Amino acid sequence: MKREDISHAVEDIDAEYVQEIYETATAKRKRPSWLKWGALAACLCLVVGLLYQSLRPTDFYSMVTSGEVDSTLTITDVMIDGWTAQYTQLNVESFELERYVGDMYAVEESRTWYYPTDSTNLKYLILKTPDGSFSLWSFASFYMEDGETHTYGDILRIIYGVDGADDIASITTSPSKSNNTDFGITIQKEVGTHRYTDRKDLEIFFNVVKDVVCYGTDSESKADNTRFTYSFSTDSFDKLTSGESTYGTRCIKIEFKNGIILDTWRYSALSGSFYEYGGIFTEPLTDEAVYKLNDIFGIY
């Protein structure tokens, strides 16, 4: 075809057709704004998701001690080595627990209990129900019938997997906060919080508490709060009442080398015994045992 013929052919093309082709090509090059912002939002969600995953605790115990896990009022029983152990449910969602499910511990009818990941102690158990959901439970106490007892040594061995002082990393004591008056707060500041890591102190502590006789929930205290005198107020006989006993009481937190923490025990130097919330009391200690603990905790 000659050049003149081509020129005439192009001139004969409908102008509207050319405009349509141009607009179509332009539309392909320019994406709608909603696509641009939608893609940006998707990228932002991905970044946030990755950041959330990176900030999530990578192990079970970090998750439990993150400060976001609280106990509920729900309690259930689990049979452990012939004992009836009572566990309290923790407020962790099922989907959060799936990644922490470890080896199977026991099957009870329609319930299956699991250890948390990389755990062989029984402080925490994960329950799977027939509908496939998971829930987290924490040991509270052994259930005792009338007259039955156990020792703190039984709890340490069966639940926490602790056989001796070598399994203890540290002990932290803090004052009782039962008295929120100005006087009580003054005592609490004076007593302070202390952490003990000396191996000799830890051994003395373990040898005392392993033989402590403990009663179940809703038991009656056999403690005599006038047995010893430890108080800032020394000018009246009622110095052991109204929370002034704060000076002679310590909240105990035991950190074990396996990463588990026991923080439910309360020690009273006034009665020379332990107690726990929920109506759990122990047999009073001997005078010798009381003096040993007081020397460690600085109670004089």
pLDDT digits (tens, 9 = 90+) for 286-298: 999 999 999 999 9
Q: Is the pLDDT reported for residue 15 higher than 50?
A: yes
Using CA atoms, how far apart are residues 195 and 165, in angstroms rounded to an integer? 16
- The percentage of the chain sitting over the pLDDT mark of 70, rounded to a whole number, equals 76
Give the DSSP per-residue string, 184-251.
HHHHHHHH--EEE--HHHHHHHHHHHTT-EE--TTPPP---TTSS---S--SSTTTTSTTGGGGGEEE
**Range 131-160 average pLDDT:** 93
- The percentage of the chain sitting over the pLDDT mark of 90, rounded to a whole number, equals 51
Q: Are 132 and 126 in contact (CB under 8 A)?
A: no
Q: Are 136 and 92 in contact (CB under 8 A)?
A: yes
**Range 128-136 average pLDDT:** 95
**Range 73-102 average pLDDT:** 93
pLDDT tens per residue, range 157-205:
999 999 999 999 999 999 988 777 787 788 888 889 999 999 999 999 9
Q: Is the pLDDT reported for residue 75 higher than 80?
A: yes
Range of 6-15, 144-153, 174-183 with top mean pLDDT: 144-153
Placement of tokens 């600085």 in the chain: 298
Using CA atoms, how far apart are residues 28 and 51, in angstroms rounded to an integer? 35
Q: Which of 123, 142, 161 is the last residue of a domain?
A: 142
Q: Hey, CA dihedral for 225, 188, 281, 272, is it positive or negative?
A: negative
Q: Which of 89, 120, 142 is the last residue of a domain?
A: 142
Q: Is the same domain home to 127 and 156? A: no
Residue 79 DSSP SS3? strand
List, in sequence order, every beta strand (DSSP E) within the chain.
71-80, 83-90, 101-108, 111-116, 124-128, 134-142, 150-151, 168-175, 194-196, 213-214, 249-256, 261-262, 266-268, 273-276, 280-281
**Range 40-67 average pLDDT:** 59
Q: Is the same domain home to 210 and 91? A: no
Q: Are 200 and 289 in contact (CB under 8 A)?
A: no
In single-letter form, the type of residue at position 180 comes to N
Q: Is the pLDDT reported for residue 30 higher than 90?
A: no
- What b-and-e string marks burial along 111-139, b requiring 16 or more CB atoms within 10 Å of the CB? ebbbbbeebebbbbbbbbeeeeebbbbeb
Answer whether residue 18 is part of any domain: no
| Between 219 and 12, the higher pLDDT residue | 219
Answer whether residue 195 is part of any domain: yes
Using CA atoms, how far apart are residues 162 and 139, in angstroms rounded to an integer? 15
Q: Helices 199-209 and 287-297 sit at what angle, rounded to 10 degrees? A: 150
CA dihedral 68, 174, 275, 116 (to 10 degrees): 30
Q: Is the same domain home to 135 and 154? A: no
The HSE-up count of residue 27 (CA atoms within 13 Å, CB side) is 6
pLDDT tens per residue, range 242-271:
446 678 899 999 999 988 999 999 999 989
Q: Are 155 and 118 in contact (CB under 8 A)?
A: no
Answer whether residue 40 is part of any domain: no
Determine which of 30-34, 86-90, 155-159, 189-193 has the lowest per-residue pLDDT on average. Answer: 30-34
Residue 39: its pLDDT value, please? 53
Q: Which domain holds residue 199?
A: 150-297
Predicted TM-score (pTM) of the model is: 0.76
Q: Is the pLDDT reported for residue 20 higher than 80?
A: no
Which value, in Å, is the radius of gyration of the alpha carbons in the chain? Answer: 33
Using CA atoms, how far apart are residues 60 and 179, in angstroms rounded to an integer? 35
Residue 55: its pLDDT value, please? 45
Q: Is the same domain home to 136 and 159? A: no
Residue 43: its pLDDT value, please? 56
**Range 127-148 average pLDDT:** 92
Q: Is the pLDDT reported for residue 33 higher than 80?
A: no
Determine which of 8-22, 66-80, 163-177, 194-208 has the lowest per-residue pLDDT on average. Answer: 8-22
The total of structural domains in the chain comes to 2
Q: Are 108 and 137 in contact (CB under 8 A)?
A: no
Q: Is the same domain home to 165 and 280? A: yes
Determine which of 22-26, 79-83, 137-141 has the lowest per-residue pLDDT on average. Answer: 22-26
* Contacts (Cβ under 8 Å, ≥6 apart) of 224: 271, 284
**Range 270-296 average pLDDT:** 93
Answer whether residue 78 is part of any domain: yes
Q: Are 130 and 118 in contact (CB under 8 A)?
A: no
| Mean pLDDT over each residue of the chain, to the nearest integer | 81
Q: Which of 113, 142, 171 is the last residue of a domain?
A: 142
Residue 164: its pLDDT value, please? 96
